[in-house]
Chain A
Amino acid sequence: MTGTQTLVCLRTVGQEDPASLATYVKLGGYAQLRRLVTEQVKATEIISQVKLSGLRGRGGAGFPTGLKWSFMPRYFDGTKYLVCNTDEGEPGTFKDRDIIRYNPHQLIEGMAIAAYTLGARVGYNYIHGEIWQDYEIFEAALDEARQAGYLGENLFGTSFNFDLYAVHGYGAYICGEETALIESIEGKKGQPRFKPPFPASYGVFGKPTNVNNTESYTSIPWIMEHGGQAFQELGVANSGGTKIFSISGHVEKPGNYEVNMGISFVELLTLAGGVWKGRQLKAVIPGGPSTAVLPASAIIGATMDYDGLSKAGSSLGAGSMIVMDETTCMVKTLKRLSYFFFEESCGQCTPCREGTGWIYRVIKRIVDGQGKLEDLDLLTDVSSNISGRTICALGDAAATPVLSFIKQFRPEFEYYIQHGRSMVEDGVVVQEVAYA
């Protein structure tokens, strides 16, 4: 395996006018949709290719996409919906933005294939509120696709109809959660629904709905072109295909890197130019703050795939790798993350609504020099009491950083409490990190 990129979802990146229909078509775009629809390829066949590809949901939970598709009811008297989740708001995640601004047509094609497969008549792509300019790019791409006959009625002269619309969020991380997103599409607050029923039976407007992440859908045309097996083989066992890693924080070249699954952490870090300013690596959050932070020593030998990161003690999440160098104060970093979850809790579940505020206030107290040593146990306890007891996984996500930061960097927290100051800023080093 080499430390270079394999562009599947970001296939048009580097091309002139990457978002245009012409560019995409030039690269073979929409051929798969046309083939599947005009040849009336059976849904079961498509799904079995997706299953074979080993594609797992790129939104963070890693649920096998082919399996999810097989949950959609085959026969249903009414409209079925397709939803794409481009709400990425998990700190450190910014891959789907690049898909919709550089390669929107591949997403559209992927969704259209999914719609054909699942019998969905209408689709929505829910786009994060803050990336307005990219929303407009995607709207323009939809117009182009409609005009070119890739969306709308009787596509390719068949009875296949599919309308796809862009809808936008307006500043709520929770809407990334699929049922909150569905509520939001319906024009409500983004408060997650209790599951079951799952979207496959009760989704948008109460109708069967399939929700996938942007990157998941965007992988589909490639899988259709090259076959599920080929996709699987790009990656490793249990983690088929490529993955876009969003790398941010203390690296020389932050950005998105689409690489084969199973790439080593070191190779990936090297792609991003390594730790910036020649500094030492201290810690990495490999998949976004809802995944556990790992100290350099734990991640340095890891491979970047579902199993590799789980072995290292964390998870792949959405592939949002946040890199922290030796100057990072873990206490202050945790404070910022806790503030985020406190601010973004939708507020319906008691543990999340009350607990996230409690956690934040205790950490703030520590940062303000008012902490007590018992606070660390209190934090751990409160976090454990949120985790697993809420409607959606935001509760777990809010607990994860607290639990993992304190577990991995407890001395730093204790120092802060005892001295009322940051250990890092005091220049005290407790943990030697080996990274060349």
Chain B
Amino acid sequence: MLNVEIDGKVVEVEHGSTIIDAADQLGIAIPRFCYHKKLSVAANCRMCLVQVEKFNKPLPACATPVADGMKIFTRSKAAVEAQQSVMEFLLINHPLDCPICDQGGECDLQDIAMAYGAPASRYTEEKRVVLNKNIGPLVSTDMTRCIQCTRCVRFLKEVGGMMELGLINRGEHAEITAYVDKSVDSELSGNIIDLCPVGALTSKPFRYTARSWELVRRPSIAPHDGLGSQIEVHIKDGKVLRVLPREKETINECWLSDRDRFSYEGLNSPDRLKVPMIKHHGEWHETDWKTALEFAAGHLKEIVSTHGSDELGVLVSPNSTMEEAHLATKLAHELGSDNVDYRLRHTDFRHDGKRLGVIWMGCNIPDVQEMDRILVIGSNLRNEHPLLAQRIRRAVANGAELSVVNPLDDDPLIPIKHKAICSPNDMVNVLSQILKAVSGMERLSLCLPKSLSDLLEGVRVWDNSQAIALSLTGHGETMDLISPRSAVFLGNISQHHPRYTEIFSLAEAISSLCGATFGVLSAGANSVGANLVGAMPKAGGLNARTMLESPRKAYVLVNVEPELDCHNAALAKAAIKQAECVVALTAYKSEALEDATVLLPITPFTETSGTFMSMEGRVQSFTAVTKPLGEARPGWKVLRVLGNVAGLHGFEFDSSEEVKNEIFGGEKPSTVVWRTLNNNLRELIDVEIKVKLDSDLQRVGEIPQFQSDAIVRRSPPLQKTRQVIKAVLAGLHPEQLAKLGINEGEKILVKQGEGTAILEARADSRVPHGCVRIPGATAATASLGDLLGEIYIERIPVAAPQEGVSA
């Protein structure tokens, strides 16, 4: 530790700290533009110049390491003079358009200029004008305002993983731009809006809608992935106008993914369901709550009493709150049914009844950065967990090794040390190879149960599996780490996998052999919470898959658009269609709910209170930030009243907190959480190494990030991004295309079971042989079957039918 004195105050700081670190620690504000604690130090704006004893010129506080006994003056005459002159330089070419600038009121330049600027400019020459760039639907540019601090460039390169912006030309002509006409496609791009200290990069959707001081700011939790990012929702006249990150170092740091930042644009979509609706003779009719609830309750009860309670199925979105999931589960149970599930995109449930606890990521979010070795199985990281991917990126930048086993070779923008890219079905084989390699290493050869070691007997270990094993155990070429901190994570593709259970048990065995953290990166904002409240069949009830495979007479859907949110779209669609009664609690009118019977308008997360439990098991409650739109009501309330109206027991709640209390049995949530999180299995699951498939082709159906749930699907700016525009295609390896005699761009017929779709074929060298990349959760593929499973492709002989869907 070192002692330094700043403006007369002494502070103890760590070795290697800079002056700005020390000042920040003391709460002494040194003005800055280019410096950002999460980015590399550029020291180019020169705003942070301070005076240091024994130095005859001012030094940049952001870049100057402190020395023991250093005396620093941030407000001395010399320091202030330097700061003022830098301010003057910054302003000579800065436009005076604050009144129309979106940054107005939250502009670092404006604020610091007030404190350090001179009232009148001595610069009388013409100001520089820089052409604007179109970098996509999310970020708007006003490049004349840019002060070349390069925060945006550094962010995209260092945090986003890809240099999408650069500072071209030099000297006074230097300007920030993307390459020629390229857009910025990072899934984290919105952060450059926050980072830009002036109004050069602003939010395109938010543009000109409000002045910052007119906005009411309310805290909330992001509802689209398992990270649990903390957000601040900005509201004017009861309408959400933007979403910003709340800084939370241990979760989202100061960042936000684009999905979490821009999804709010879908909140007030024209699709919003504002009043309850009932279908009569094939026609939808608006109605009042009382009628709708009585109709729904009556209908459900009638089916239960005439056909048996087993004829009821309840499906809950993993993005529903814990309260919603709890009450939906309770509703099923009180109506006598055990058919309830939130795992809509899962299809392998063989470990039901064998888990010892609630499945979670196995460690805390910041731990990811401390790992030396990480193996990610079945995940398109950037797509599924954008901010977690960023943490892994940083871990790797700090020397960690990342290995992947995946059915897609997509670039996570993280250097991958070892990879096994294989068809979904082969993943099990690859994992057993890794397990064999790991167990073969002397130190670890101990304790595999006989059933497993027998199984591994005949497995031949490929080089890349061997390399992955070596990396995980630290026995790499140089055996550089005797005991690395390693982690094995299962991503969404693993969870959606038809052989999830086998993947899970192999991964668990691998982790336990090499002492690695093992966890599942949960897909939904509340997957872990729904697991905790037990929104799953317990006593032999039907799971999300079987409920659709053996269609029920009645369904209750909470936040579900069946053909978009379920693993097998065609199956979901058919099951809903044949049902006698479908009660859908939904925020949106939807094509996918055409076949429902009653639509009960519930509110999205901004209009309800509730709780999400993140992948690391963090329980985060939030309150409504705006009033419900129209007649819509919070889901928990609707479920409660539905229970009341149906005369069910135990639905007397006055607030969502009461529901939460019931969930946690009056205990502190954290107590319950730490007691229940457990990724171990009660018993081993049978693994079969070689499973023969009928088709030569398997579908890899990932969920594009901007299709993941009903809200994002309705956010126009997200839907205009390049990721979405290029999403719906049938991607095959170029050699596979050639082998099948299909031309790139040709329309092909893809078939899964009864379902077919006509899609454009695209050469995609990131797809392994024997696979076709066809995304799920999109209208164009809503007639197809399993996300991951066998698929057949045919060329379309003569005149091609219309592009689109035919069932």
Hey, which bits of chain A sit against chain B, CB under 8 A?
172, 174, 189, 194, 196, 342-351, 353-358, 361-362, 365, 378, 385, 388-391
Instruction: Given A351-B85, A385-B89, decide whether A189 and B170 contact each other with a Cβ distance below 8 A.
Output: yes
CB atoms of A385 and B57 under 8 A apart? no
CA distance A356 to B171 in the complex (A): 9
Query: Using Cβ atoms and an 8 Å threshold, which residues of chain A touch B57?
Result: 388-389
CB atoms of B171 and A350 under 8 A apart? no
Query: Using Cβ atoms and an 8 Å threshold, which residues of chain B touch A350?
Result: 44-47, 86, 89-90, 147-148
Question: B223 at interface (Cβ–Cβ under 8 A)?
Answer: no
CA distance A134 to B169 in the complex (A): 27
Contact for B170 among A172, A354, A355, CB less than 8 A? A172
Query: Using Cβ atoms and an 8 Å threshold, which residues of chain B touch A354?
Result: 89-90, 92-93, 172
Question: B395 at interface (Cβ–Cβ under 8 A)?
Answer: no
CA distance A174 to B150 in the complex (A): 19
CB atoms of B172 and A357 under 8 A apart? yes
Closest CB of chain B to A94's CB: distance in Å?
23
CB atoms of B125 and A361 under 8 A apart? yes
Question: B63 at interface (Cβ–Cβ under 8 A)?
Answer: yes
Contact for B60 among A189, A194, A342, A356, CB less than 8 A? A194
Taken residue by residue from 90 to 109, chain B's Cβ proximity to chain A (1 for < 8 Å, 0 otherwise) reads as: 10110000000000000000
List the B residue with the shortest CB-CB distance to A364. Answer: B125
Question: B770 at interface (Cβ–Cβ under 8 A)?
Answer: no
Instruction: Given A347-B148, A348-B42, A389-B46, decide whether A356 and B85 contact each other with a Cβ distance below 8 A.
Output: no
CA distance A347 to B46 in the complex (A): 12
Question: B248 at interface (Cβ–Cβ under 8 A)?
Answer: no
CB atoms of A345 and B90 under 8 A apart? no
Per CB-CB distance, the 8 closest pairs between chain A and chain B, nearest first, are A388-B57, A347-B174, A385-B85, A354-B89, A345-B171, A348-B44, A194-B43, A347-B171
Instruction: Given A350-B86, A350-B89, A388-B57, decide whether A356 and B172 contact each other with a Cβ distance below 8 A.
Output: yes
CA distance A29 to B352 in the complex (A): 82
Question: B88 at interface (Cβ–Cβ under 8 A)?
Answer: yes
Question: B739 at interface (Cβ–Cβ under 8 A)?
Answer: no
CA distance A172 to B170 in the complex (A): 10
CB atoms of A351 and B89 under 8 A apart? yes
Interface centre among A357, A385, A389 (most CB of B within 10 A): A389
Hey, which bits of chain B sit against chain A, CB under 8 A?
41-47, 49, 56-58, 60, 63, 65, 82, 85-86, 88-90, 92-93, 122-123, 125, 147-148, 150, 167, 169-174
CB atoms of B44 and A349 under 8 A apart? yes
Query: Using Cβ atoms and an 8 Å threshold, which residues of chain A touch B56?
Result: 388
Query: Using Cβ atoms and an 8 Å threshold, which residues of chain B touch A358?
Result: 89, 92, 123, 125
Query: Using Cβ atoms and an 8 Å threshold, which residues of chain A touch B93?
Result: 354
Contact for B171 among A344, A385, A388, CB less than 8 A? A344
CB atoms of B172 and A342 under 8 A apart? yes
CB atoms of B65 and A347 under 8 A apart? no
Instruction: Given A358-B125, A389-B85, decide whether A346 and B92 contact each other with a Cβ distance below 8 A.
Output: no
Interface centre among A174, A351, A355 (most CB of B within 10 A): A351
Closest CB of chain A to B704's CB: distance in Å?
35
Interface of A is mostly: helix
Closest CB of chain A to B519's CB: distance in Å?
34
Given A346-B171, A361-B125, 10 new contacts (CB under 8 A): A172-B170, A174-B170, A344-B171, A350-B45, A353-B148, A356-B171, A356-B172, A358-B92, A388-B57, A390-B46
Closest CB of chain A to B77's CB: distance in Å?
14
CA distance A89 to B354 in the complex (A): 74
A-B contact pairs, 23 of them (CB 8 A): A196-B65, A342-B171, A345-B171, A345-B172, A347-B170, A347-B172, A347-B173, A349-B46, A350-B46, A350-B89, A350-B90, A351-B46, A353-B148, A353-B171, A354-B90, A356-B172, A358-B123, A358-B125, A361-B125, A378-B122, A385-B88, A389-B58, A391-B43
Query: Using Cβ atoms and an 8 Å threshold, which residues of chain A touch B60?
Result: 194
Query: Using Cβ atoms and an 8 Å threshold, which residues of chain A touch B122?
Result: 378
CA distance A58 to B88 in the complex (A): 36
Query: Using Cβ atoms and an 8 Å threshold, which residues of chain B touch A346?
Result: 170-171
Interface centre among B49, B85, B92 (most CB of A within 10 A): B85
Instruction: Given A348-B148, A358-B123, decide whether A353 and B88 contact each other with a Cβ distance below 8 A.
Output: no
Query: Using Cβ atoms and an 8 Å threshold, which residues of chain B touch A345?
Result: 170-172
Interface centre among B88, B92, B167, B172 (most CB of A within 10 A): B172
Query: Using Cβ atoms and an 8 Å threshold, which residues of chain A touch B170?
Result: 172, 174, 189, 344-347
CB atoms of B58 and A357 under 8 A apart? no
List the B residue with the shortest CB-CB distance to A378. Answer: B122
List the A residue with the shortest CB-CB distance to B173. Answer: A347
Contact for A391 among B44, B89, B172, CB less than 8 A? B44
Query: Using Cβ atoms and an 8 Å threshold, which residues of chain A touch B65?
Result: 196
CB atoms of A388 and B58 under 8 A apart? yes
CA distance A357 to B46 in the complex (A): 17
CB atoms of B46 and A355 under 8 A apart? no
Query: Using Cβ atoms and an 8 Å threshold, which residues of chain B touch A365?
Result: 125
CA distance A344 to B49 in the complex (A): 24
Instruction: Given A194-B63, A349-B44, decide whether A389 and B174 contact each other with a Cβ distance below 8 A.
Output: no
Closest CB of chain B to A129's CB: distance in Å?
14
Query: Using Cβ atoms and an 8 Å threshold, which residues of chain B touch A378?
Result: 122
Query: Using Cβ atoms and an 8 Å threshold, which residues of chain A touch B169?
Result: 347
Closest CB of chain A to B580's CB: distance in Å?
68
Query: Using Cβ atoms and an 8 Å threshold, which residues of chain B touch A385?
Result: 85, 88-89
Instruction: Given A358-B123, A389-B85, decide whether A353 and B43 contact each other with a Cβ distance below 8 A.
Output: no
Query: Using Cβ atoms and an 8 Å threshold, which residues of chain B touch A349?
Result: 44-46
Query: Using Cβ atoms and an 8 Å threshold, which residues of chain B touch A388?
Result: 56-58
Instruction: Given A194-B41, A358-B123, decide whether A353 and B85 contact each other with a Cβ distance below 8 A.
Output: no
CA distance A81 to B170 in the complex (A): 28
Closest CB of chain B to A397's CB: distance in Å?
14
CA distance A350 to B169 in the complex (A): 15
Query: Using Cβ atoms and an 8 Å threshold, which residues of chain B touch A344?
Result: 170-171
List the A residue with the shortest CB-CB distance to B41. Answer: A194
CA distance A378 to B92 in the complex (A): 14
Query: Using Cβ atoms and an 8 Å threshold, which residues of chain B touch A174?
Result: 170
Instruction: Given A348-B44, A350-B44, A354-B89, decide whether A389 and B172 contact each other with a Cβ distance below 8 A.
Output: no
Query: Using Cβ atoms and an 8 Å threshold, which residues of chain A touch B89?
Result: 350-351, 353-355, 358, 385
Contact for A389 among B42, B49, B167, CB less than 8 A? B49
Interface centre among A196, A345, A353, A390 (most CB of B within 10 A): A353
Closest CB of chain B to A197's CB: distance in Å?
9
CA distance A378 to B86 in the complex (A): 15
Query: Using Cβ atoms and an 8 Å threshold, which residues of chain A touch B47?
Result: 350
List the B residue with the shortest CB-CB distance to A357. Answer: B172
Closest CB of chain A to B800's CB: distance in Å?
48
CA distance A390 to B59 in the complex (A): 9
Closest CB of chain B to A193's CB: distance in Å?
9
CA distance A358 to B128 in the complex (A): 11
CA distance A362 to B123 in the complex (A): 9
CA distance A365 to B172 in the complex (A): 18
Query: Using Cβ atoms and an 8 Å threshold, which residues of chain B touch A189?
Result: 167, 170
CA distance A33 to B42 in the complex (A): 41
List the B residue with the shortest CB-CB distance to A341. Answer: B171
CB atoms of A357 and B171 under 8 A apart? yes
Closest CB of chain B to A324's CB: distance in Å?
27
List the B residue with the shortest CB-CB distance to A343. Answer: B171
List the B residue with the shortest CB-CB distance to A197. Answer: B65
CA distance A172 to B45 in the complex (A): 21
Closest CB of chain A to B754's CB: distance in Å?
56
CA distance A134 to B65 in the complex (A): 42
CA distance A194 to B61 in the complex (A): 12
List the B residue with the shortest CB-CB distance to A362. Answer: B125
CA distance A115 to B749 in the complex (A): 66
CA distance A355 to B85 in the complex (A): 10
CA distance A142 to B735 in the complex (A): 46
Closest CB of chain A to B241's CB: distance in Å?
33
Query: Using Cβ atoms and an 8 Å threshold, which residues of chain A touch B173?
Result: 347
Query: Using Cβ atoms and an 8 Å threshold, which residues of chain A touch B123?
Result: 358
Closest CB of chain B to A175's CB: distance in Å?
11
Query: Using Cβ atoms and an 8 Å threshold, which residues of chain A touch B45?
Result: 349-350
